[in-house]
Structure 1
């Protein structure tokens, strides 16, 4: 007999799409994959060299649970110099990816049936991680005219005595929206007043195009005390498969996270940690080159989308996604099941274009496309999307 926990978990939509794409490619079908949330760059040389050098020195034995001291020291330097957040080394815990950081944090903060505020649209794994730790996701509706960024007024109807944490993804996956400092101040003040922790997922923080990014914990000392910042190396330096992330929090929370991690996984791979250290020390120029390319793609893809009828979208100021509104199209259909899944299944089957259905993010009238791929791929994919829309709307 499996646990009740397993029965409540929804399999990852994005992993399911990747499996279908792999099967089609294995059958010789050319698929235009606009679903992937993975940089199409390689890990910078200097970062890789740091990892190789650690192996040559046989630095492969057990180490400290919260991560290499030199890496945590460098993370503190990064947070101070780039984010204006002053953390000590023992307030940093390095984990096996941002997902691991989020899970550790919720295990440290929540009891069964505690409520976690989760604004829509949300990253696909948030609700399932919340359920895995026996907490309860409380979905917060937000407004398209505000690029789906929440305000305190959006939160008020959902506050109960069981409210424990607000998850704030900034920049957002899937919308690419970025909060201003003023917007963050109002949210922080509300959470302080209502004794709510903020889990600030800032994994896309480096990929910002038009706004100056502001970290939640930099707002004030009070904001820092209630904030658990989650970040990592997957998006900024293309270290997706190396599984390396980190959290920054006050000493009490960091100690709890480290205690939990010590029994679950100990520390992340040392080789990955040395690669992350090399990335922080020596790869800022490589990161800037990647971000410049993403911005060029953002401009190109938005120009193309503007020419496609019947759709609208959230203009992305960060990350490498576009969240496309298909409301005008969905009105024509009356599916008993999800519209966005049906739409994406047909687009993949008939036009060999893979995108992510909006239902994965809690918004069934939307799809998410990624521009973490070459110009040729996403432009051809958008041409086929345009043709598909024309065919079904005629």
Structure 2
């Protein structure tokens, strides 16, 4: 099983015999490892959360080596029954659907075939051509190929899922578009003139003056919006392009008093930044066109009547994972005898306080990531949350704060009701 990045066909000057041998070994290895491909697909499905956690954790660690203990936390801890199930299902599938000669080839042929490929590739050939060196090189070739194909399968499945989820919300997206069209659609600009419209120009000026966005983020977001508005693709049966939908959303954002307009614009920018970053994601190569349109409409949910985007993966378009992280941390703190000491140290700047907090965060990082990924949080959202755990206000980590927040929300809601009356 060789990954695409590992394929190195002999140079054009190589003999036909050498090229034929390489192709023979390559296709023979592909056929011999078909059972492995089936197992990889099974593992990709059943270990979805663990693989995402591993990739995210690997990114956070940078170049630092992942220890056996950390591997156990990600893949082993709490997964004994699942591992037995995977082994049984994989074994029974291979035994039932494959002939004995193919199973025998699967068990015995990969290493000799991998050795043949290595000998035909100068780039992968070990300096010392002895049996042990060739065995190590062949095992590395197979393990690297296995890893690449596992991640490739996971990416493909995640991309399919990402594409399907917004389409499940397609009816509610179209309903929300029609709501805005009925209220603000008397003069929708032509697709190629959206970027010259006053609504768009004012929004770009707002982004340029937003202090919380860095210059790089501003540049990326403006470039993203220009490209989005120049695309003539339509959101299914809505009959409108992405730029025209953005125009309607901007019209809705600019209705109301100054405070309301500022809040809606800020929420729209936040949703667009998440959609844009997710579209660039490191795990999934691109996000769906419908999903980005849904992200724009989602920013108006709760502040504009008739706007509701259902079944969309909210955490991928701006709902921060921080709240879930706080709830998780609360539960973990209750298990600690020194929970008050950890809370007291959370906002302190002293070295010993930092060490107490750091040790606790290091301990909960993997299980917290698994929890967030199990809720379908995006990779970027999870990584941002994990990397900023130490900056969470310690007041959010106590139940008392929850009560206080609830009272504040009720007070605000009451004030709003009085204002409406």
Structure 1 and Structure 2 fold alike (TM over 0.5): no
TM-score range, shorter chain: under 0.3
More strand by share: 1
TM-score calculated relative to the size of structure 2? 0.25
TM-score calculated relative to the size of structure 1? 0.26
Q: Which has the higher contact order (CA 8 A, sep 6+)?
A: 1
The structure that has the greater radius of gyration is: 2
